[in-house]
């Protein structure tokens, strides 16, 4: 995927830049690799620096209520001061290690409605910066995230939408200035719960799964929603019945009803949900996607279209429509049947 444009900061006859990704598909904690190709213009150019940064849209509070704003949340230095002679081509390789809390933008090869992600190339010279264009990036879920999303669909939760909320979740470690909320309508087997918002806070060893239960009259204390947070390790992806596990999380939160009605918020124990045998943190490096081998075809080929949506609680109509892509029309999803697309080369 390549974007080529003249660098407007340098005027007519100035240099041009191509930002090229080796593969736009990745996962939290993995690496995006590529190169910035600079082509000299009609004159020699002194360049101060070249950087690339991950950009997304976050919901923020403003004077007129909540609105979406573009945020560059992770930047990587590519090159420092250099001279670009007229007509000369330079290739500057880079690698971007994605933060573990990077939000998911695609599930089973389908864009997640409400999510956008891009890699911006910025070239600075003469005291000013040309922000360049954006390469769309597709961030697919980690194995544990994928199992939890599957469990929500199996339990009958219906996907509403996803967004990024600016701010911090109280009492929980968080490295980014925002967090992702994946929102569902609750099925009837959970009386008193109207909606559930799901958040993943991942790190190298595992993740904290945060659930927010939207109150209904008579269930929670006035003015309070209910929160639950549960710690799971990456290695648990293949070891648990995730449908039963997620159901247990939700029902435990409902069992806090009396505490909530008494005026407290009622948090389940932070350690709840840590599977036996996964109490000791361990490294979780490249190649973890290979844990899917033996389950059949790759993520993109297992479930496609409305079938994949049903498994995750997505409506068929929502899957059929194209997600709004704020970064152009050249978005890309994981190649069908080929999980090796995620390998770090």
Q: Determine the pLDDT at residue 252.
A: 84
Does residue 150 sit within a domain? yes
Residue 302, domain member (yes or no): no
191 vs 174: which has the higher pLDDT: 174
- Could you give the CA distance from residue 115 to residue 180 in angstroms, rounded to a whole number? 9
The residue among 292, 323, 339 that closes a domain is 292
Higher pLDDT, 258 or 191: 191
In DSSP notation, 155-176 reads TT-EEEEEEEEES--TTS---S
Question: Residue length, the chain?
Answer: 345
Helix 242-254 vs helix 143-154: angle between axes, to the nearest 10 degrees?
70
| 244 DSSP assignment | H
pLDDT at 169 over 60: yes
- Which range marks the domain in which residue 62 is found? 2-139
* Average pLDDT, integer, range 222-236: 75
Last residue of a domain, one of 124, 139, 154: 139
Structure confidence at residue 185 (pLDDT):
95
Decide if 317 is inside a domain. Answer: no
Domain assignment present for 328: no
Q: Are 151 and 209 in contact (CB under 8 A)?
A: no
Give the per-residue pLDDT at 10. 57
Label residue 329 by pLDDT band (50, 70, 90): very low
Instruction: Give CA–CA dist 26/162, Å, rounded.
Output: 19
CATH number at residue 106: 2.60.40.640
Residues 64 and 161 in one domain: no
Residue 287 has pLDDT above 90, yes or no: no
Is residue 218 over pLDDT 50?
no
pLDDT of residue 192: 76
Could you tell me which residues come within 8 angstroms of residue 185 by beta carbon, excluding any fewer than 6 positions away?
Answer: 157, 158, 160, 194, 195
DSSP type of residue 322? P
Residue 223 pLDDT class (50, 70, 90 cuts): very low
Tell me which of 18-27, 42-51, 326-335 is least confident: 326-335
Please compute the mean of the pLDDT values over residues 302-313 and round it to a whole number.
42
Same domain, 211 and 199: yes
pLDDT of residue 23: 96
Q: Is 18 helix (H, G, I), strand (E, B) or coil?
A: strand
Residue 35 has pLDDT above 70, yes or no: yes
**What span, in angstroms and rounded, lies between the C-alpha atoms of 227 and 248?**
14
Q: Tell me the pLDDT tens digit for each residue of 96-114.
A: 999 999 999 999 889 999 8
Arithmetic mean of pLDDT over the chain: 73
């Amino acid at each position: 995927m390549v974007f080529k444009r003249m660098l407007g900061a340098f005027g007519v006859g100035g240099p041009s830049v191509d930002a090229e990704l080796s593969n736009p598909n990745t996962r939290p904690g993995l690496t995006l690799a590529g190169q910035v190709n600079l082509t000299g213009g009609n004159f020699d150019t002194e360049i101060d620096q070249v950087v690339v940064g991950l950009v997304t849209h976050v919901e923020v509070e403003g004077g007129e209520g909540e609105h979406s704003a573009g945020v560059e949340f992770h930047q990587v230095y590519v090159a420092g001061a250099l001279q670009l002679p007229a007509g000369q081509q330079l290739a500057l390789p880079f690698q971007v290690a994605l933060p573990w809390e990077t939000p998911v933008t695609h599930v089973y090869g389908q864009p997640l409605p409400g999510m956008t992600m891009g890699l911006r190339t910025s070239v600075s010279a003469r005291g000013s910066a040309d922000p360049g264009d954006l390469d769309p990036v597709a961030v697919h879920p980690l194995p544990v995230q994928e199992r939890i999303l599957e469990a929500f669909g199996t339990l009958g939760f219906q996907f509403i939408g996803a967004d990024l909320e600016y701010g911090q979740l109280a009492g929980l470690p968080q490295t980014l200035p925002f967090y992702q909320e994946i929102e569902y309508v609750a099925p009837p087997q959970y009386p008193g719960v109207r909606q559930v918002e799901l958040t993943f806070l991942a790190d190298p060893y595992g993740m904290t799964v945060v659930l927010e239960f939207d109150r209904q009259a008579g269930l929670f204390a006035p003015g309070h929603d209910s929160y639950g947070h549960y710690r799971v390790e990456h290695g648990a992806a293949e070891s648990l019945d995730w449908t039963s596990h997620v159901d247990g999380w939700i029902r435990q939160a409902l069992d806090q009803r009396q505490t909530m009605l008494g005026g407290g918020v009622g948090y389940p124990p932070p350690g709840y949900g840590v599977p036996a045998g996964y109490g000791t943190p361990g490294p979780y490096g490249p190649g973890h996607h290979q844990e899917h081998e033996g389950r059949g075809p790759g993520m993109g080929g297992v479930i496609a279209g409305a079938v994949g949506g049903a498994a995750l609680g997505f409506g068929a109509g929502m899957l059929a429509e194209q997600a709004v892509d704020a970064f152009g029309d050249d978005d890309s999803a994981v190649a069908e049947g080929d999980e090796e697309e995620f390998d770090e080369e």
